[in-house]
Structure 1
Amino acid sequence: MRVRFGPAVAGRRVALALAAAVATLVTAGADQRARAEDFPSRPIRLVVPAAAGGPTYLTARLLADKMERPLGQPVVVEAKGGGGGNVGAETVAKSAPDGYTILMATIGTHAINRTLYRKLTYDSQKDFVPVSQVVQYPLLLVANPKLPAQSVAELITYARAHPGKVLRASGGIGTSMHLSGELFVHQAGLDMPHVPYKGSAPALTDMVGNHVQVMFDALMTALPLVQAGQLKALAVTGTQRSPVIPDVPTVAEAGLPGYSATGWIGIVAPAGTPDAIVRRLNAAVVEALADPELRQKLIEQAAEPIGSSPDEFARFIALETDKWAQAVRSAGITVD
């Protein structure tokens, strides 16, 4: 037996369904606002997509300490290296979009890897929402003291005379250290095999032991070894000399004209994180970076504090992605 409803009854059913849907949306919106107003009510997990002890990790520790005051909750730094930063990035991309798990994004995870890797388990544009750029920094080209080259020009001459013999370390495939080196060997026309590590710390350890001979690394991690006489500095990768080591020339002025490369670090959250929570995190980052003590520590390590808005950081990431896509393609570099 089939029961037919008249137009009035059907209309009431549609109206009730619409009312229920609207009520659900209103409730969801209210719940989201309540979560944002209460945020944070527990510790925040800041994932670093690199090994402990490297420049990204050290910057994260410094920043996390200063973010705790404006947030009123601990910011726990967790190193999750591997895959050129992809392991840590994937972890955050798949986390709940509630602001309690955020990523220390790098030039690798959010600019280089998109073109470098044939297969990624995350989308750097769709799976994250930018919070703020934290710092940008030049890299330092260092060499083992036993390498018979005292300048970039001498390194190029020596490497050309000994193809495949000078080993080039990095903190992982797809990192700024890796791609800065690839750009260097491509422009200079060198055969310097790449040896990737899971972070700067183990790479620098092997550099000191002369298992690898050269490396592009952040000043904050490489400079102490230079000052201790365990490594020698050949050049910085920026367009200008660093005020931290003004006697060290740029790569361009020391033997490879036209070369420049800088790294950067920022914070992103999983896509879908409420705007109010993103703004709360952004305010905490900006306030932390305004702290004179933190700024001085970063500047001493040749890192320039930034503290941008989410929109500014989004535009910056887009520009960097295009820039490094061209560099990766021109160098013919891909990773499966």
Structure 2
Amino acid sequence: MNRRGFTVGAAAALCLGALKQARAAGSYPDRPLTFVVPYPPGGAADQFARPYAQALGDRLRQTVIIENRPGANGNIGSAYVAERLPADGYALLLGSLSTLAINPHIYPSMGYSVLDDLQPVSLTHSMPNVLVVGADTPYRTLGQLIDAARRKPGSLEFGSAGIGNTMHMAGELFQLRAAVKLLHVPYKGGPEALNDLLGGRIPMMFNNLPAIVPLVRSGKLRALAIADDKRSPLLPGVPTMAEAGVADATSVVWNGILVRHGTPPGVVTQLNAAMGAVLGDPKFRDLLTAQGYDILSSTPARFAALLRKDYAAMGDLVKRANIRME
């Protein structure tokens, strides 16, 4: 083939590719979507994902099927979307600060690249972590817990959803700011750690606000401090970390939806618009806000910028806390 024939052929191929993308975006979605939640059922992320999937499906006029793929602090489900499912907009991933910004600095091999293999679509919500203790423990204030930790360094246990999870990182940040040494007990997920806390097998943990509000209100757990810069209207009697005497110990977890890199831009734009409509719906917002979720919404660019910023910040915290896989 001569150069002119090659050029014409290449141009035709480019046009055909653009036409296919346009057709894909124009008919999208014409079949059910899979919404991968890389955490166990029953946790705060899963509790958000289920009503969100229903509302998004109603908006797109397609079924959105939840698929829980927990393991390795979200890596298994995230790698499944980033490497194994097509880049066509039919596979959505619920990502978090923990999986996307912390894991890359802890796991020697992720199986995918967060920044290269995933395309942010929209932030969805955030939630602060709360330091909670068992109702049978003697700790009624943060000061009492700190005093106990200082008397026996490294003996007071705190549970988490796993190494590198934001519950773990909240505990590490707390230790740095409060000048105490605790003993980390990692679990396979937040619900498992919470069950052991309720059963008296561990004395304390940091957990997402939506997961602990009903348990604190019923007296099954005691909340000592919220790792946010403001109190929660759901637990107005619980002080912030700063109010309780530990400054700069904020731990607020963001979540958002991503697709595989290479998804047609038109599909990403359509998804972002549908997600924004759901997240802006007062009925949806009120339902989830009442459970402790702070509803967010964003452009893909804003989400990507936040991811890059926290990717760097969490890498610094991991290094300072000397966190590594055991």
> How does the TM-score come out when normalised to structure 2?
0.96
Matches of 2:287 and 2:60, distance apart in 1: 21
Q: 1:83 aligns with which of 72, 87, 98?
A: 72
Report the alpha carbon displacement of residue 272 of structure 1 after superposing the two structures with TM. Answer: 0.5
Counterpart position of 1:278: 268
Matches of 1:88 and 1:244, distance apart in 2: 31
Q: 1:123 aligns with which of 113, 124, 129?
A: 113
Counterpart position of 2:287: 297
Equivalence map 1:57-206=2 (5 Å):
57-94=46-83, 95-206=85-196
Deviations 1:305-326 (A, max 9, x none): 1110101111111121122222
Counterpart position of 2:11: 22
Q: Which runs of 5+ in 1 are unaligned?
A: 1-11
Question: Is 1:40 the counterpart of 2:29 in the alignment?
Answer: yes
Which of 34-43 and 315-324 deviates more?
A: 315-324
Report the alpha carbon displacement of residue 234 of structure 1 after superposing the two structures with TM. Answer: 0.8
Equivalence map 1:232-243=2 (5 Å):
232-243=222-233
Report the alpha carbon displacement of residue 198 of structure 1 after superposing the two structures with TM. Answer: 2.2
Matches of 2:156 and 2:144, distance apart in 1: 13
Counterpart position of 2:20: 31
Deviations 1:33-62 (A, max 9, x none): 111111111111111111111111111112
Matches of 1:150 and 1:104, distance apart in 2: 35
Kept in 2: contact 1:171–1:177 (CA 8 A): yes
Q: 1:311 aligns with which of 297, 301, 310?
A: 301
Counterpart position of 1:229: 219
Deviations 1:88-112 (A, max 9, x none): 1111101210011111000112211
Counterpart position of 1:258: 248
> How does the TM-score come out when normalised to structure 1?
0.93
Matches of 2:185 and 2:51, distance apart in 1: 29
Matches of 2:187 and 2:93, distance apart in 1: 21
Matches of 2:291 and 2:161, distance apart in 1: 18
Report the alpha carbon displacement of residue 229 of structure 1 after superposing the two structures with TM. Answer: 1.6
Matches of 1:119 and 1:335, distance apart in 2: 11
Instruction: Point out the structure with max Rg over C-alpha.
Output: 1
Aligned letter for 1:23?
A: A
Kept in 2: contact 1:82–1:172 (CA 8 A): no
Report the alpha carbon displacement of residue 163 of structure 1 after superposing the two structures with TM. Answer: 2.9
What is the number of equivalent residue pairs in this alignment? Answer: 325
Q: Runs of 4+ in structure 1 displaced over 6 angstroms?
A: none
Counterpart position of 1:213: 203
- The DSSP-based 3-state class of the residue aligned with 2:286 is helix
Kept in 2: contact 1:138–1:219 (CA 8 A): yes
Computed over aligned residues only, the root mean square deviation of the Cα atoms, in angstroms, reads 1.4
Aligned letter for 2:292?
A: A
Provide the identity percentage. Answer: 36
Q: Which runs of 5+ in 2 are unaligned?
A: none
Counterpart position of 2:320: 330
Report the alpha carbon displacement of residue 72 of structure 1 after superposing the two structures with TM. Answer: 0.9
- The DSSP-based 3-state class of the residue aligned with 1:143 is strand
Report the alpha carbon displacement of residue 245 of structure 1 after superposing the two structures with TM. Answer: 0.9
Kept in 2: contact 1:112–1:324 (CA 8 A): yes
Deviations 1:65-103 (A, max 9, x none): 111122110111111111111111111101210011111
Kept in 2: contact 1:153–1:256 (CA 8 A): no
